[in-house]
């Protein structure tokens, strides 16, 4: 293994030890968490593993499964079952059809329970089967204490999550550009079948218009769950996702927690995409070598004042043939012994195998008239 030594952020920077665990914060929420969107690492938390109902923030998973399993342009029809769901609604009529994309706008911006049910039936066949898909997908994402029994989050005994689990679900959802677009939209219109005008959707997430850099994501409320909010923001290259559960002052508390995260942490880029970190000799290639380059910026979020290190894992030699883009190593950003971020290192060019010995043997066999095997 080759290792690049500590790279100073600034000439006079003092070493700060990275905390082994997330900072425990005081909060008016029953549970909260802030995570680094890029790595999923927990930055701030309080009761983040406590199981609680989550109201309409459930719909983050509903949207994620729709994006992973559906065609956004496919028609989705409102059934009698979807039409009859109580609570917040986009006022779908029985038999009314919208595209899946339009249903998702109604789901995430206006929190339509009717849209949630229509999507569940469209993707899962039945609401029950869709909820089983939701729970299974949560487990795949590393959620340890999450069970979904509805696609909308109306009160249901045994339907619960944790602040941390919900943040992990939101993090995965935010990898979909369509999801980011929807939850970051303040106002939109979708068709209203049988009417001369469209539905006007106003996003219930007030942070989109009151918090600098806000990126979404979803509100929720029931009497049992209290006010719940999944939220996100981006500043100076640092993206965070947060959750507050059962929090009466939800928007202000979310803003306070994000302010704290941005005040205490920063995104640090140590190496850039396509940058070379060294040259590796290639065996069986007539003395050739190949550059190891980064596939993406090596960027990590860490407490301000932390002195990071870059570690480069590469073999001493490679065997030809080598293809451009072939993974040949890893670059890691660490601090205080903790891996903050990593990115693959790939070969910059093709390197062909030198078959000179085989060609020489064939030449001598032909010259001597020796039959080839």
Annotated active-site residue 186? The verdict is: no
Report residue 295: phi and psi, to 5°. -85, -20
Residue 254's Cα: distance from chain center in Å? 19
Q: Would you call 111 a catalytic residue per the annotation?
A: yes
Whether 151 and 134 have beta carbons less than 8 Å apart is answered as: yes
Catalytic residue among 28, 39, 45, 56: 56
Residue 279 is among the residues annotated as catalytic for this protein: no
**Tell me, what DSSP letter sits at residue 154?**
-
Tokens read off for 200: 């006007």
Catalytic residue among 45, 59, 79, 218: 59
Q: Which of 369, 242, 258, 335 is nearest to 15 (CA)?
A: 335
- Mention every residue, 6+ apart, whose C-beta is less than 8 A from residue 88: 56, 110, 111, 112, 113
How open is the CA angle 350-354-359, to the nearest 5 degrees? Answer: 145
CA dist 340 and 343 (Å) reads: 11
The DSSP element (H or E) to which 134 belongs, if any, is helix 127-140
**Active-site choice (28, 30, 39, 111):** 111
Active site residues: 56, 59, 111
């Amino acid at each position: 293994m080759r290792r690049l030594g500590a790279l100073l952020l600034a000439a006079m920077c003092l070493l700060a030890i990275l905390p082994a665990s997330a900072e425990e914060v005081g909060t008016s929420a029953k549970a909260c968490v802030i995570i680094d969107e890029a790595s999923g690492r927990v930055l701030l938390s309080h009761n983040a593993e406590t199981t609680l109902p989550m109201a309409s923030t459930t719909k983050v998973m509903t949207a994620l499964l729709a994006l992973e399993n559906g065609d956004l342009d496919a028609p989705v029809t409102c059934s009698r079952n979807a039409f009859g769901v109580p609570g917040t609604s986009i006022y779908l009529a029985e038999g009314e059809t919208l595209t899946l994309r339009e249903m998702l706008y109604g789901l995430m911006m206006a929190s339509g329970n009717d849209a949630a049910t229509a999507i569940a039936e469209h993707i899962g066949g039945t609401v029950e089967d869709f909820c089983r898909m939701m729970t299974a997908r949560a487990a795949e994402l590393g959620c340890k204490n999450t069970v979904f029994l509805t696609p909308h989050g109306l009160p249901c005994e045994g339907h619960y999550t944790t602040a941390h689990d919900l943040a992990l679900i939101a993090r995965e959802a935010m990898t979909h550009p369509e999801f980011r677009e929807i939850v970051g939209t303040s106002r939109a219109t979708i068709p209203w079948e049988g009417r001369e005008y469209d539905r006007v959707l106003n996003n219930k997430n007030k942070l989109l218009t009151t918090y600098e850099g806000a990126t979404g994501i979803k509100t929720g409320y029931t009497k049992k769950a209290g006010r719940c909010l999944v939220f996100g923001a981006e500043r100076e290259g640092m993206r965070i996702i947060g959750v507050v559960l059962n929090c009466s002052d939800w928007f202000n508390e979310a803003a306070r927690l994000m302010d704290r995260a941005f005040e205490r942490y920063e995104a640090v880029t140590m190496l850039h995409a396509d940058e070379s970190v060294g040259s590796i000799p290639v065996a069986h290639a007539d003395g050739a070598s190949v550059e190891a380059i980064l596939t993406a910026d090596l960027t990590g979020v860490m407490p301000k004042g932390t002195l990071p290190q870059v570690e480069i894992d590469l073999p001493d030699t490679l065997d030809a043939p080598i293809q451009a883009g072939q993974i040949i190593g890893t670059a890691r950003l660490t601090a205080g012994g903790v891996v903050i971020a990593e990115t693959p290192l790939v070969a910059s060019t093709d390197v062909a195998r030198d078959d000179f010995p085989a060609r020489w043997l064939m030449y001598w066999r032909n010259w001597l008239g020796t039959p080839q095997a």
